[in-house]
Amino acid sequence: MLQGSLVAIVTPMFENGSLDIPSLNALIDFHVDQGTDGIVIVGTTGESPTVDFDEHCLLIKTAVSQVNGRVPVIAGTGANSTKEAITLTQKAKELGVDACLLVAPYYNKPTQEGLYQHFKAIADAVDIPQILYNVPGRTSCDITNDTTIRLAVHSNIVGIKDATGGIERGTDLLLRAPKDFAVYSGDDATAMSLMLLGGKGVISVTANVVPKLMHEMCVAAIVGDAVTARAINAKIFALHQKLFVEANPIPVKWVLAQMGMIKTGIRLPMVNLSAQYHDVLRSACKQAHIL
């Protein structure tokens, strides 16, 4: 079972918006060296909405090659079209990923039955471990716990990334889900609490900039060492908050550029971090002893 700090890695870009593959390779090595437990490529933080199909596949292929079996690779392959999601998931399997992350269909707002049929169709079509991804704040589509439990019995649906931040909701899911169904946090600010309750890890934005600390916090929380987990989490809590002062991945890409890890490229309609937030981010970084 995948567990721990799974970084929702950014997609480095040159200033003109083209993919910066050398910087991606360097970031992957940085994460492996720092203890990151898995690489999530082409997720929301990886700007999946603005890469085309060929770029999507290139990013997955690059991650699998550069990781070279050192940690698991999870590919974002969700779409608001079931057919497209199946195609992406099949391609990711062919490229050698360990699992796929499937966001709830966005914009078209299916019913719960539609969501069930969507995810079941993908799981039936492609034999690879699949993690549901519920982020209603972005998709305007909420996978309810009841629907998640219906899907959890499928052998290819192995977990869910719950980005709602709702501890009551997460607790309910942990109590009702099969024991081999993993619940991952998709909300850095509440990830420690969810793991102390039984969650298996976090698919993290914060891990982009403090991978070692996120790994150590996850290790402590998963084994129930609340004292250690709380102490580490306190050091990076400001990052959990301030990395979302503007829409992700705008702030995290700004911090990584300040760290010298990537260039400043980001694709429209996303733009670089507003100047009014620069000092806010610098302060959070100093608290975590970066920058």
Spatial neighbors of 248 by CB under 8 A, at least 6 apart, are 44, 45, 205
β-pair partners for 79: none
Map tokens 């870009």 to a residue.
13
Distance from C-alpha of 216 to C-alpha of 209, rounded to nearest angstrom: 14
Q: Do 243 and 235 form a contact (C-beta atoms < 8 A)?
A: no
The residue count for the chain: 291
Residue 50 DSSP label: G
Q: Name the residues annotated as catalytic.
A: 133, 161
Spatial neighbors of 9 by CB under 8 A, at least 6 apart, are 24, 27, 28, 31, 39, 40, 41, 43, 45, 46, 63, 208
**Cβ neighbour number for residue 284 with a 10 Å cutoff:** 24
